Amino acid sequence: MVNCCGLVTVKNEPVPLKQVEVQVQVQGHVASVSSTLQYENKEERPLEAIFVFPLEGDAALCHFSAKIGETEVVAELQEKQK
């Protein structure tokens, strides 16, 4: 079980966070937050990792993508299970 947030290896070890950029737009009572997190693999081999980012119960995720080298992977979002 993962005990932290961010990018962690399958052995539950954190991958070093190199840079963070956050953009916020507020309209009325709604805030849209976009975060760009840059991680650095200091290992000599590719890592298998899991991205963990806890959200409050009333938060919504609208888009998620990861860029690995020159390849961008876009997640397919699904409705929250009740």
Tens-digit pLDDT profile for residues 38-76: 999 999 999 999 999 888 888 888 999 999 889 999 999
* CA distance linking residue 70 with residue 79, whole number of Å: 29
Tell me what pLDDT residue 15 has: 94
- % of the chain at pLDDT higher than 70: 95
Contacts of 71 (CB under 8 A, 6+ apart): none
Contact predicate 1/52, CB 8 Å = no
Q: Torsion-angle region of residue 28: left (phi > 0), alpha (psi -120 to 50) or beta?
A: left
Q: Torsion-angle region of residue 41: left (phi > 0), alpha (psi -120 to 50) or beta?
A: beta
The arithmetic mean of pLDDT across residues 28-39, rounded, is 93
